[in-house]
Amino acid sequence: TAMVSQGPRLLLLGLLLYVFSPSVSHAGKLLLIPVDGSHWLSMHVIIQQLHQRGHDILVVAPEASVYIEEGSYYTLKKYPVPFQKENVAATFAELGHAVFENNPFLLRVIKTYKKVIRDSALLLSACTHLLQNAPLMTSLQESHFDALLTDPFIPCGTILAQYLALPTVYYLNALPCSLDMKATQCPNPLSYVPKLLSANSDHMSFLQRVKNVLIALTENFLCDVVYSPYAALASEILHKKVTVYDLLSSASIWLLRTDFVKDYPRPIMPNIVFLGGMNCLEKKPISQEFEAYVNASGEHGIVVFSLGSMVSEIPEKKAMEIAEALGRIPQTVLWRYTGSRPSNLAKNTILVKWLPQNDLLGHPKARAFITHSGSHGIYEGICNAVPMVMMPLFGDQMDNAKRMETRGAGVTLNVLEMTADDLENALKAVINDKSYKENVTRLSRLHKDRPIEPLDLAVFWVEFVMRHKGAPHLRPAAHDLTWYQYHSLDVIGFLLAIVLTVVFIVFKCCAYGFRKCFGKKGQVKKTHKSKTH
Amino acid sequence: TAMVSQGPRLLLLGLLLYVFSPSVSHAGKLLLIPVDGSHWLSMHVIIQQLHQRGHDILVVAPEASVYIEEGSYYTLKKYPVPFQKENVAATFAELGHAVFENNPFLLRVIKTYKKVIRDSALLLSACTHLLQNAPLMTSLQESHFDALLTDPFIPCGTILAQYLALPTVYYLNALPCSLDMKATQCPNPLSYVPKLLSANSDHMSFLQRVKNVLIALTENFLCDVVYSPYAALASEILHKKVTVYDLLSSASIWLLRTDFVKDYPRPIMPNIVFLGGMNCLEKKPISQEFEAYVNASGEHGIVVFSLGSMVSEIPEKKAMEIAEALGRIPQTVLWRYTGSRPSNLAKNTILVKWLPQNDLLGHPKARAFITHSGSHGIYEGICNAVPMVMMPLFGDQMDNAKRMETRGAGVTLNVLEMTADDLENALKAVINDKSYKENVTRLSRLHKDRPIEPLDLAVFWVEFVMRHKGAPHLRPAAHDLTWYQYHSLDVIGFLLAIVLTVVFIVFKCCAYGFRKCFGKKGQVKKTHKSKTH
C-alpha cells in the first residue's frame, strides 16, 4: 500500500483551521529596530511575510544607514545622527579590506580591536541619538505597538523595548561571547559546544578543548568593551541599574537562524526557536540572461561564485590567481564581482554585478558553489545540495566552513594563503569526488524534512508574542536565581556543614567515650611520666 | 484591516505539500513494545494515526497483559510468560489500595520499596521471556522493521531495538531518577528543575532546594534496583557490556507527553519533542445518556469526577465522605466510580462506570473537574479550561497537582486527610472564585496556541526516523565524552598545572634574583651574627 503523504493531512488541518479560526482578529502593530548590513538583509523575508499577514511594521533606523532603505512592505522612520552614510559605508568596506591585509597575527589582533572600538562608538552614538530623541520617543510611545522585533547584536532595540514596555522577539544568527546562551540561561558545556570563532567542531581534541576554555575565559573582555556602554546607557534611560544580561534576557522569544543540520546539537531552551534555511525554498525562474549562460554550459554545468553582499572587491593579485584557477576547469563559472575585471579572466568565467544565487544553485546544472560561507550561502548550498568550496573571510564564516567540512559537504580554503592550484584542486575535488555530492545531498534531505516551514514558525512566534503580550510561560526560573543558587553552591555548603558537624560530634563523642573507658590508665601514665621529669 | 488568520496560509501550505509530495513512497513497518497499564492506553492515539497513514504496526506483549488487547489498527503478537494475567492485575489493584492505607511514613516507604522489588521482578521476567524466545526473535529479525517505538519506562523494547539494530523512537511521560535527562545528556540544574516526585515547583525555597539535591543524591539507589538488571540482561543478549545509559541513549527521538504550560521551562535537547495535550482536540458529540444529565443540570452546570483508569474503588468511609461533600454543592456531579455505591449518595450525584471525560469537560456547562491529576486528566482540564480539584494518588500526580496549583488553576487536596468540608470548600472555591477560571483559561489559550498539532508532530518524527533510519544529526557529541571530559576537568587541571608551574618558576626566579642582589649582604650579616654568638 502506498504511504499516505503528509500533504492531505496538512490540507485537512489547514481547512479545519480555516473554518474554525476567529474571523475578526485585528492586525498588529510591530516596531522593528534593525542592525544595518547583512543583518538587515536577512530580515527581509520575515518582514515581507508579516506585512502580507496584515501587520503594520514601522522600521526605525539612523539617517546614515547604508542598506536600510524605503521598502514597500514597511514604513521607514529615520532619525538624525551626528555622522554620515559615508562613515558607515567605510566601516563596511574596511571589513572586506582587512581580510586581505596579510598582517602578522598580533598586528591583526590590534587592528581588529581598534576597529571594534571605532565601530562600536559609532553604533553607540546612533543608539544614544535614538533614545535621547524626545519627540521620536513620544511618538513611539503613543503608537502603542503590540511587540518589538530586533536583532540584539546591537542591543539598542532591547533598551527601547524596555523603555516602551513592549514584549520583544529577537531575530539573530548568534551573539558573540555566548551572550545568547548566558541571556537565555542555556547551559553551554565547553567540552562539546564549540565557541563562536574557534573553528572547533563538536568533537574536539584535548588541545582544542583547551582552546575552547581559553576563549571562554578571555572573550568577556572584548564583549565588555562593546556591550557594557549599552548597560550604562540603559541604566540612564530606564532610571534603574541594569546589566547587559538583564537587557538581553528580557526577550520573550529568540528566533535563531540556525538548525542542527548546519550546527551541532547542544542544549537549548524552550524559548529558542530554530529557523535555519528560512529563505531557501523561495524559488523564482531564472532570468533570460542567466538561463542563457546555464544552457550554454553544456554537460559540464556551472559553478556559482559569490563572496557575499559585504565584500565588493579583492586585491588585484588575489583576483588574478582566482581567475586563473577558474579558467582551468571545464565548468562555466558565474562570478558575482563588482571590482575591476582581472586581466587574465578565462572565457568560461562570467563576471556579473549580481546573481540570483539561490535560483542558480537550485538549477540541476549547478556543480559547485564557491562561497565565503556566510550562513545564508551555506543554507542555500545545503538546501540545493550543491558541494561547496569555502573561503571564509570574517565573523562566523570560519565556523560555518568548519561545520560543512566535518560533514564532508565541502572543502575550506584560506583565502590569504591559497594558490591558483589550491582552488583548482578544491573545485575539481568537490565536482568529481562523488562523496561531496552524496554528503551534501544527505544533509539537504535532513534539512528539508521538517514538520513546519521555518518562515511559518517565525511568523507564528512573532504573532504569538503579539497575541499573548509575551511568552512568560517559557521563561525559566533560573533568571530569578543568583549564580551560587543556580549552581546549588549554598545547598552544597549547607549539606557539607551538616556532614562535617556530624562527623565532628561523632568524633568528639568517640574521643570522650574513649577517654572515659581508657582515660584513667592514660592519665595515670601521663602523671607518672611527668613525675619522672 | 482584518488580520489574515493562520488558516489560509496553512491551507496553501497543505495544498503545496499535497501537490509536491512524492506519490510513491511506501508504507513502513513499525515494531511496538508497549508497557501495560495507563502507559499503553496513552499510546492509542498515535498508533491509530500511524495506522491511518498506512503503516503496519506489530505490537508484541506478554500473554499476561491486562490492558493490551487485540485492536483493529495493529497486529498483536503475544508471547508466553511464567505468570498469569491475574498476577499483573493484582499489581495494578495494589497501586490503588496502597494509596488509602494510612500507614506511617516509614512503613509506607518499606511497603513501596517491597512492591517495587516485586513488580519489577515480574516485569524483568516478562522481558527475559521475550528476549530468550528464540523463534519469536527470529521472526522479528526476519520481519525487517523500519523502526521500533517503545516506552522506555521498562527498557525491554530498548534492548530489543539494539538486538535487532533498529532505529528507536521513545514515547513517554518521564523516566524516574532523571534517567531521561541523563540518557539524553540534557543538563538538569537542581536549583530550578524540580525532581520528579518532589512536589517542588520551579521557584524553590532554600529547604526545597536542599530536598531537591537530597532526592538527586539518593534516587539512584532505587533506580539501580529496578534498572540495573536490564543492563545485565542486555549485556547477555547483546554479547557486550552495556549500562542502562548506553541502552537508553540509543534512541533517535524522545517524544515526551508534556509541554511548558503544564511543566516548567528547563534546558532541553534537540532530539526531545514535546507532545503535551495530544489527545485533547479529538472531540465527539456527547451520547444521549450524558446529554440528558448535562441538560438537566440547569444553570449550575456539571462537575466531572474521575480518579482515572487505574483506581477502581476506594474505602467505604472515604467514599461516603466524598459523597457527602458532593451532595452539598448545587452542581450535578458525574462520578466515574466502579466500586459499591456509597449509602449517602445525594440526588445531584450520578455514578457511572465510564464517562466521556474530554467531551464532558468540553461542554460549556462543565464547572469543575475533580481529578487524580494524572497527566491525561490535567491536559484535558487545561485544554477545556475547567478549574480543577486535584486528589493526587501516586506517581507524578503530586507533581502535576503542584504545577496546576502554582499557576492558580486548581486546588490540591490530600485524599487521605481531607474531610467532607475540605472537598466542599475546594469545589466551591474553584467554581465561585473567578480567578481559577481565568487562570485555567489563560493556560488553555497558551496551550492550544501552537504552530503544529502534537499528534502531527509525533507522527512526523516517527516517520522521520523510519525515512532516515534514525536522526544521527540530533545526537549530541556529549555521548562520546567521559564525565571528566564533559565537565572539562582535565582541561581545568591542565591549565591549573600550567599556572602553578609558571607561578613556581617566577617565584623561584625572583627568589634567585633576590639572593643574587641582596644575598651577599644577608650572608655577610648572617656570618657576622653567628660570629657574635
From first to last of its 533 residues, what are the pLDDT tens digits of chain A? 344 445 455 555 555 544 444 433 468 999 999 999 888 988 988 999 999 999 999 999 999 999 999 999 999 999 999 999 998 888 888 877 777 877 788 888 888 888 888 888 999 999 999 999 999 999 999 999 999 999 999 999 999 999 999 999 999 998 989 999 999 999 999 999 999 888 899 999 999 999 999 999 988 887 888 999 999 999 999 999 999 999 999 999 999 999 999 999 999 999 999 998 887 766 788 888 899 999 999 999 999 999 887 777 788 899 999 999 999 999 999 999 988 899 999 999 999 998 999 999 999 999 999 999 998 899 999 999 999 999 998 888 999 999 999 999 999 999 889 999 999 999 999 999 999 999 999 999 999 999 999 999 999 999 999 999 999 999 999 999 999 999 999 999 999 999 999 999 999 999 998 888 886 554 545 545 444 44
- Residue with cell string 520583544: A168
pLDDT tens digits, residue range B41-58? 889 889 999 999 999 999
Which of B1, B3, B203, B258 to mutate against chain A (most A CBs within 10 Å)? B3
Total Cβ atoms within 10 A of residue B25: 15
Does one domain contain both A419 and A464? no
DSSP 8-class letter at B374: -
CA–CA min distance A36, chain B (Å): 29
Answer yes or no: do B13 and A453 touch at CB < 8 A: yes
pLDDT of residue A98: 78
Does one domain contain both A344 and A469? no
Enumerate the H helices of A363-488 as residue ranges: 375-383, 397-406, 420-432, 434-448, 454-468, 483-486
Question: Among partner residues B7, B25, B445, which is closest to A14 by beta-carbon distance?
Answer: B7
Please state, in angstroms and as integers, the Cα–Cα distance from residue A443 to each residue in A378, A437, A439, following that order.
11, 10, 6
Complex-level ipTM = 0.89
**Average pLDDT of the residues of chain B:** 89
With respect to residue B326, please indicate whether it lies within any of the assigned structural domains. Answer: yes
With respect to residue B31, please indicate whether it lies within any of the assigned structural domains. Answer: yes
**Chain-centre distance of CA B367, in angstroms?**
28
Answer yes or no: do B22 and A11 touch at CB < 8 A: no
- The yes-or-no verdict on residue B20 having pLDDT over 50 is no
B487 to chain A: closest CA residue: A191
Q: How far is B519 from A376, CA to CA, in rounded Å?
A: 67
**Chain-centre distance of CA B315, in angstroms?**
29
Total Cβ atoms within 10 A of residue B167: 21
B458 to chain A: closest CA residue: A451
A15 to chain B: closest CA residue: B11
CA–CA min distance B441, chain A (Å): 13
B211 to chain A: closest CA residue: A491
Q: How far is A232 from A223, CA to CA, in rounded Å?
A: 14
Please state, in angstroms and as integers, the Cα–Cα distance from residue B46 to each residue in A10, A17, A505, B148, following that order.
16, 21, 58, 14
pLDDT of residue A13: 54
Does one domain contain both A56 and A138? yes
Which of B53, B146, B473 to mutate against chain A (most A CBs within 10 Å)? B473
With respect to residue A519, please indicate whether it lies within any of the assigned structural domains. Answer: no
Number of H helices, E strands in chain B: 20, 13
Does one domain contain both B437 and B357? yes
Q: How far is A272 from A87, CA to CA, in rounded Å?
A: 35
With respect to residue B113, please indicate whether it lies within any of the assigned structural domains. Answer: yes
Residue A29 buriedness (CB in 10 A; 0-12 / 13-18 / 19+): middle
CA–CA min distance A53, chain B (Å): 5
Answer yes or no: do B25 and A2 touch at CB < 8 A: yes
Does one domain contain both A265 and A294? no
pLDDT of residue A486: 97
Does one domain contain both B444 and B318? yes
Does one domain contain both A260 and A351? no
Contact residues, chain B, for A14 at CB < 8 Å: 7-15
- Tell me if B47 sits within 8 A of B74, measured CB to CB: yes
CA–CA min distance B259, chain A (Å): 9
Question: Among partner residues A15, A19, A54, which is closest to B4 by beta-carbon distance?
Answer: A54
- Tell me if A360 sits within 8 A of A381, measured CB to CB: no
Question: Among partner residues B202, B214, B485, which is closest to A477 by beta-carbon distance?
Answer: B202
- Residue B467: closest CA among B24, B17, B26, B20: B26
Q: How far is B387 from B441, CA to CA, in rounded Å?
A: 9
Contact residues, chain B, for A271 at CB < 8 Å: 265
Residues 6+ apart with CB under 8 A from A382: A261, A262, A277, A280, A404, A409, A440, A443, A444, A447
Q: How far is A258 from A174, CA to CA, in rounded Å?
A: 9
Residue range of the domain that includes B178: 26-280+453-480
CA–CA min distance B468, chain A (Å): 8
Question: Among partner residues B1, B20, B270, which is closest to A54 by beta-carbon distance?
Answer: B1
Does one domain contain both B307 and B163? no
Residue B102 buriedness (CB in 10 A; 0-12 / 13-18 / 19+): exposed
- Residue A411: closest CA among A381, A388, A382: A388
With respect to residue A422, please indicate whether it lies within any of the assigned structural domains. Answer: yes
Answer yes or no: do B17 and A24 touch at CB < 8 A: no
Question: Among partner residues A17, A190, A478, which is closest to B7 by beta-carbon distance?
Answer: A17
Answer yes or no: do B27 and A203 touch at CB < 8 A: no
Element (H, E) at A150: strand A147-150
Does one domain contain both A272 and A125? yes
Last residue in a domain, options B399, B433, B448? B448
Does one domain contain both B433 and B466? no
DSSP per residue, B35-85:
-TTHHHHTTHHHHHHHHHTT-EEEEEEETT-SS---BTTBEEEEE--SS-H
- pTM for the structure as a whole: 0.89
Contact residues, chain B, for A265 at CB < 8 Å: 269-271, 473-477
Contact residues, chain B, for A6 at CB < 8 Å: 17, 21, 460
Residue B86 has phi, psi (to 5 degrees) of: -65, -35
Question: Among partner residues B265, B467, B478, which is closest to A270 by beta-carbon distance?
Answer: B265
- Residue with cell string 562593546: A226
Last residue in a domain, options A429, A448, A467? A448
- Residue B307: closest CA among B372, B251, B250, B242: B372
Answer yes or no: do B189 and A488 touch at CB < 8 A: yes
Contact residues, chain A, for B475 at CB < 8 Å: 265
Answer yes or no: do A192 and B486 touch at CB < 8 A: yes
Answer yes or no: do B495 and A25 touch at CB < 8 A: no
pLDDT of residue A520: 57
pLDDT of residue A8: 52
Last residue in a domain, options B429, B448, B467? B448
Does one domain contain both A198 and A226? yes
With respect to residue B252, please indicate whether it lies within any of the assigned structural domains. Answer: yes
Query: How many inter-chain contacts (A to B, CB under 8 Å) are there?
Result: 258
Answer yes or no: do B27 and A3 touch at CB < 8 A: yes
CA–CA min distance B215, chain A (Å): 13
Contact residues, chain B, for A494 at CB < 8 Å: 206, 210
CA–CA min distance B265, chain A (Å): 5
CATH number where A122 lies: 3.40.50.2000
Answer yes or no: do A451 and B473 touch at CB < 8 A: no
Name the domain count of chain B.
Answer: 2
Does one domain contain both A147 and A209? yes
With respect to residue B485, please indicate whether it lies within any of the assigned structural domains. Answer: no
Ranking A12-21, B82-91, B225-234, B263-272 by mean pLDDT, the lowest is A12-21
With respect to residue B518, please indicate whether it lies within any of the assigned structural domains. Answer: no
Residue B57 β-bridge partners: B30
Contact residues, chain A, for B28 at CB < 8 Å: 3
Contact residues, chain A, for B192 at CB < 8 Å: 476-478, 480-481, 486
pLDDT of residue A60: 97
Element (H, E) at A121: helix A105-131
pLDDT of residue A219: 87
Can you tell me the mean pLDDT for B503-518?
A: 90
Question: Among partner residues A10, A24, A492, which is closest to B2 by beta-carbon distance?
Answer: A24
Total Cβ atoms within 10 A of residue A532: 6
Answer yes or no: do B491 and A1 touch at CB < 8 A: no
**CB hemisphere CA count around B99 (13 angstroms):** 24
Measured over the CA atoms of residue A103, residue A105, residue A109 and residue A110, the dihedral's sign is negative
